[in-house]
Amino acid sequence: MANKSIIATATITNKSVNQDSKREISTSLINAVLVADGLGSYKYAEQSSILAIEAMQKQLEVEDVDYLDFNKLFRISQESLIELAKQVKREENYGSDNLFGTTLIVLVETEKKIKIAYVGNGAIWHIRGNFDEFSSIYSFPWSAVNLLNPHTVEERGKEALYRLISDRNTDCNEYIPSIIEIEKDSYQGDIFMICSDGIYSEDQRIFGRNSTGVWVKYDSSMRIFFEHLKCFFEKIDYSSEKLHDALIQYLKEIKTDLDDDATLGVLITKSTLEYQLRKRTNINEDNTDK
The pLDDT of 176-203, averaged and rounded, is 96
Output the CA–CA distances (angstroms, integers) from residue 251 to 11, 105, 171, 224, 248, in the order listed.
7, 19, 38, 10, 5
For the cut 80, the answer to whether the pLDDT of residue 289 exceeds it is no
For the cut 70, the answer to whether the pLDDT of residue 94 exceeds it is no
pLDDT band at residue 215, thresholds of 50, 70 and 90? Answer: low
| Alpha helices (H) along 129-267 | 221-234, 240-254
- Backbone CA torsion sign across 17, 38, 47, 191: negative
Note the pLDDT tens digit of each residue in 17-26. 999 999 999 9
Q: How many CB atoms within 10 Å of residue 150?
A: 22
SS3 of residue 254 by DSSP: helix
SS3 of residue 102 by DSSP: strand
For the cut 90, the answer to whether the pLDDT of residue 101 exceeds it is yes
pLDDT score of 1: 40
Query: Which class is domain 6-289?
Result: alpha beta
Q: Which residues neighbour 250 within 8 Å (Cβ) at sequence distance 6 or greater?
A: 10, 224, 225, 228
The CA angle 137-123-136, to the nearest 5 degrees, is 10
Nearest to residue 105, comparing CAs of 247, 251, 263, 217?
263
Is the pLDDT higher at 232 or at 168?
Answer: 232
pLDDT band at residue 285, thresholds of 50, 70 and 90? Answer: low
Note the pLDDT tens digit of each residue in 126-165. 999 999 999 888 878 999 999 999 999 988 878 899 999 9
Per-domain boundaries in the chain: 6-289
